[in-house]
Structure 1
Amino acid sequence: MKRIISALSAGALLTFGTLTQAEVAVIVNAASSVAPTQSEVANIFLGKDNSFKAVDQASWNPTKSKFYTAVTNKNESQLKSYWSAMVFTGKGQLLPSVADDAAVVARVSSQADAIGYVDKSTVNDKVKVLFVLP
């Protein structure tokens, strides 16, 4: 009985670990000829570079968390503080946001100068992947 419980627990941990390790793809419109680097993407999503229209996700989810941690080195509270200061001082405005990965893909595929991030599994041929965060 202990072996069965141990085996089930190990299986559950492996499954959970796989679900939480989804890859995040940074995407642009499929017709885009410009490919910003990871540091340029950070500046775009921090409102320091307006060469692309950043499409953010509205809620703080695992994809958003992984993207901001890896690309901007900011967690949720740091990002909220950053944007509060930017808006308060008049140096920036919050990025437009959409509900989920599908909405990001739809917005990026319909705007030539849009950039976003999604779970890699939602990428289609209407967008181009710049890079993937493992």
Structure 2
Amino acid sequence: MKRFAQAALLALTAGAVGMASAEVAVIVNPGAAKAPSQSDVANIFLGKDKSMKGVDLKDWTPAKESFYSAVTSKNESQLKSYWSGLVFTGKGQPMASVADDAAMVAKVAAEADAIGYVDSAAVNDSVKVLFTLP
């Protein structure tokens, strides 16, 4: 019984590590006129570049954490502080947010100038992948 419990714990740990290291895909509508670079994407998601409509995940998920860490070098508290400052000074408003990866794919597929990010497993033919992040 003890070996079974150890094996189950090992399997759960391996699964959790696998989930935390999933790739994140930065996606756009296939008809998007612009294919922004990674630095352009950072500026879009920080409200500095209005050439595309950034779409954010509502909750702080592993995909959101990976995306913001890699693209903007900001963690959750830094990002909240950043947006609080912009809102307080009237210099910006956070972008639209969606509940999950499926809603993100649907929104980006429906809007020609939308850009978002999802776990790469959620990507389908309705969106175009700009690049992936580990």
Deviation at 1:50, TM superposition (A): 0.4
Q: Which runs of structure 2 are paired with 1:64-83 in the superposition (5 Å)?
A: 64-83=64-83
Q: Give the equivalent residue in structure 2 for 1:90.
A: 90
Q: Give the equivalent residue in structure 2 for 1:108.
A: 108
Deviation at 1:59, TM superposition (A): 0.9
Identity of aligned residues (%): 62
The gaps in structure 2 that reach 5 residues or longer are none
Question: Which segment drifts farther, 3-12 or 61-70?
Answer: 3-12
Q: What is the CA RMSD across the aligned residues, in angstroms? A: 1.5
Instruction: State the TM-score, normalized to the length of structure 2.
Output: 0.92
**In structure 1, distance between residues paired with 2:71 and 2:106:** 22
Deviation at 1:36, TM superposition (A): 0.5
User: Is residue 48 from structure 1 mapped to residue 48 from structure 2 by the alignment?
Assistant: yes
Deviation at 1:5, TM superposition (A): 5.2
User: Is residue 29 from structure 1 mapped to residue 29 from structure 2 by the alignment?
Assistant: yes
Deviation at 1:13, TM superposition (A): 2.3
**In structure 1, distance between residues paired with 2:15 and 2:62:** 16
Letter in 1 for 2:86: M
Letter in 1 for 2:62: P
Letter in 1 for 2:110: S
**In structure 2, distance between residues paired with 1:65 and 1:23:** 12
Deviation at 1:3, TM superposition (A): 5.8
Deviation at 1:8, TM superposition (A): 4.2
Deviation at 1:11, TM superposition (A): 3.1
Map Cα deviations across residues 29-52 of structure 1 (whole Å, 9 max, x no partner). 012242111110000000000010
Deviation at 1:95, TM superposition (A): 0.8
Deviation at 1:104, TM superposition (A): 0.8
Instruction: State the TM-score, normalized to the length of structure 1.
Output: 0.92
Deviation at 1:61, TM superposition (A): 1.2
Aligned length: 134
User: Is residue 121 from structure 1 mapped to residue 128 from structure 2 by the alignment?
Assistant: no
Map Cα deviations across residues 45-79 of structure 1 (whole Å, 9 max, x no partner). 00000010001111111111111111100001000
User: Is residue 16 from structure 1 mapped to residue 5 from structure 2 by the alignment?
Assistant: no
